DNA sequence: CCAAAAGTGTTATCGCTACACCCATGA
DNA sequence: TCATGGGTGTAGCGATAACACTTTTGG
């Protein structure tokens, strides 16, 4: 490799992915057993070095696919973590990302192969390096983002009930919203459609399933509508 | 240099700073003549490679100080730009930042030395590499940030009038707010204090100068108050 | 004296909050 | 039949939006 800037010191650049999901009324994080020294065997986010001819987001997408089998999930830049001594293995700057996915959609064989496991975000084990801080920042960002973008839908199954949706927002914002007001506001946005089916796993009576209207949803996102709840 | 990850390819990492200011009712950007090949002599953001033992934010702070003489200005991470072919001079990932400062406070000798110049953000010259996109992203971020943080104060002189403050928000949000409602809302936040002086540059009658109360301002920021206008 | 910007107050509307009762059903 | 969660409507309040006239003063 040769280029015009060779006199400058090169640094290792990695990407890491914070994978968030939602189940049983809780926000969850998918963790993996680290497979390289140092700290081999401890819980970790997934990551990889960025390859010389690969874009950064491309690298994050690759990592996500390699470890979960999933493409086309919500994946976005989070922040850099570039402290010179953050990694005793060497000077590595990591570009942290966060992904939102539906629990259960990931490839089970891969999950097993890599010893992956979902943890509730408020019951996390110790993580390697500064991954704990990365996760905290991802949660902050999720909370902020959920205020101006209906990001929650990325975390629910295609068909969901309104109580499920409310419980997701409760988990994200760590508060307990009013059922009636929540329903009113969501319905007034006109982005979800009622189906004829009911989901009976949550109650005897059963709750109607909804799905969201992708077009209206995208239009809303594009307009940058306020999504405070 | 030797470390546990040596088998991986190292990449050059840079920081760039988008410097925004406000004057004459317009948002402005401080640009510099690039001093290295390729594209030497063209308009550019300022930047530098991150040194081996230097943190990333530290590098951005250093750059800002070296080119403007200023420390303690608002400086924050923006985004990475990591396309493998974004820079024909080599594979460089840049970690873009944005800074907000008061026009006129920068060191004039340095500005002259580096051929720096303020441009209105909607009348920018061509910029090197992908710096145009970086600037656009910085403006988006500023607009978004200004909604939940009274960020505007970083851009005004210590003493300012309410019409000036309104004109700043008009410039940021590209709309023309109602004078009376603006005044009412700002004053209701109880973060600015009226002084006995008037500024007569804007009108014959003159407008009272205000300064903001740092403590109340910080408390508001910490509480994460809504700042929609 | 007049042009130009600064300063002020009220009203109507909208959205949010709070809150209580009936419904459907499986056990 | 009853316990459990699902579904609905309304009234009060606070914030926002719309809007017009008076004040000051340099030229």
pLDDT confidence tier of residue A6, bands split at 50, 70 and 90: low
Within 7 Å of a protein beta carbon, the nucleotides of strand C are 3-10, 16-20, 23-26
Query: How confident is the model over B177-214, as pLDDT tens digits?
Result: 999 999 999 999 999 999 999 999 989 999 999 998 98
Contact residues, B window 40-79, toward A, CB-based 8 Å cutoff: 49-57, 77, 79
Round and report the angstrom distance from CA (A40) to C1' (D4). 47
B8 pLDDT more than 90:
no
Q: Of A106, A56, A96, A100, nearest to A74 (Cα)?
A: A100
pLDDT at B205: 95
Contacts of B123 (CB under 8 A, 6+ apart): none
Amino acid A62: pLDDT: 98
Q: Which residue is nearest to nucleotide C16 (CA to C1')?
A: A181
A214, pLDDT greater than 70: yes
* Residue A149 vs residue B29, higher pLDDT: B29
Is A38 near chain B, with CB under 8 Å? yes
Q: What is the mean pLDDT of chain B?
A: 92
Helix (H/G/I), strand (E/B), else coil: A147 = helix
CB contact under 8 A, B1 and A9: yes
Q: What was the pLDDT predicted at B153?
A: 82
What is the pLDDT, as a whole number, of residue B25? 92
Q: What is the pLDDT of residue A7?
A: 61
pLDDT at A63: 97
Mean pLDDT along residues A16-42: 94
Tens-place pLDDT, residues A198-212: 999 989 999 999 998
Task: Report the residue of chain B nearest A53, measured CA to CA.
Answer: B84
The residue that leads in pLDDT, A8 or A32, is A32
Residues present in chain B in total: 229
pLDDT for B134 equals 98
Average pLDDT over residues A121-131: 96
Q: By the CB < 8 Å criterion, does A9 face chain B? A: yes
Whether residues B91 and A3 touch (CB distance < 8 A) is answered with yes
Whole-number pLDDT of residue A3: 53
CATH number for the domain formed by residue range(s) B151-222: 1.10.10.10
pLDDT digits (tens, 9 = 90+) for A89-102: 889 999 999 999 99
Give the nearest chain A residue to B145 (CA atoms).
A144
For chain A, the average pLDDT equals 92
Quick one: pLDDT at residue B2?
Answer: 44
Q: What fold is seen in the domain A4-145?
A: Nucleoside Triphosphate Pyrophosphohydrolase (3.90.79)
Query: How confident is the model at residue A226, as a pLDDT?
Result: 76
DSSP letter string, chain B = ---TTTTSPPBEEEEEEEEEEEETTEEEEEEEE--SSSSTTSEE-EEEEPPTT--HHHHHHHHHHHHH---SSEEEEEEEE--TTS-TTS-EEEEEEEEE--TT-S-HHHHHHTT-EEEETTS----STTHHHHHHHHHHHHHHHTTTS-GGGGGS-SSEEHHHHHHHHHHHHTS---HHHHHHHHHHTT-EEEEEEEE-SS-SS-EEEEEE-HHHHHHHHHHT-----
Give the phi and the psi of residue A59 in degrees, each rounded to 5: -65, -40
pLDDT at A1: 42
Phi-psi sector, A2: left (phi>0), alpha (psi -120 to 50), beta: beta
Confidence of residue A65 (pLDDT cuts 50, 70, 90): very high
Confidence (pLDDT) at A124: 97
Quick one: tokens of A203? Answer: 């109650």
Q: Which of A169-183, A213-227, B125-139, B151-165 is least confident?
A: A213-227
- What is the average per-residue pLDDT within A3-15? 78
pLDDT for position A221: 80
Q: Is A80 on the interface with B (CB under 8 A)?
A: yes
Nearest partner of A143 among A23, A44, A228, A21, judged by Cα: A228
Q: How far is CA B161 from the centre of its chain?
A: 21
Using the predicted structure, report yes or no on whether residue A197 has a pLDDT greater than 50.
Answer: yes
Domain boundaries, chain A: 4-145, 151-222
pLDDT of A2 strictly over 60: no
Helix or strand (DSSP H, E) at A216: helix A214-223
Model confidence pLDDT, tens digit, residues B155-166: 999 999 999 999
Res A80 pLDDT > 50: yes
């Amino acid at each position: 490799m040769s280029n015009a800037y060779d006199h400058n010191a090169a640094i290792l650049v990695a990407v890491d992915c914070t994978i968030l999901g939602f189940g049983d009324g809780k926000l969850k994080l998918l963790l993996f057993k680290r497979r390289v020294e140092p700290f081999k065997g401890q819980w970790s986010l997934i990551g990889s070095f960025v390859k010389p001819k690969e874009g950064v987001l491309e690298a994050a997408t690759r990592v996500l696919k390699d470890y979960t089998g999933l493409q086309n999930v919500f994946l976005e830049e989070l922040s850099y973590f570039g402290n010179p001594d953050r990694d005793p293995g060497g000077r590595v700057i990591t570009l942290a990302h966060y992904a939102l996915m539906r629990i259960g959609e990931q490839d089970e064989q891969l999950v097993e192969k890599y010893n992956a496991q979902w943890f509730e975000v408020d019951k996390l084990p110790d993580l390697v390096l500064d991954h704990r801080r990365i996760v905290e920042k991802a949660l902050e960002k999720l909370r902020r983002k959920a205020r101006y973008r209906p990001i929650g839908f990325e975390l629910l199954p295609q068909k969901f009930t309104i109580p499920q949706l409310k419980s997701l927002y409760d988990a994200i914002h760590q508060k307990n919203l009013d059922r009636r007001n929540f329903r009113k506001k969501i319905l007034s946005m006109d982005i979800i459609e009622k189906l004829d089916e009911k989901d009976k796993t949550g109650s005897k009576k059963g709750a109607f399933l909804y799905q969201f209207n992708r077009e209206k949803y995208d239009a809303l996102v594009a307009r940058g509508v306020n999504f405070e709840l």
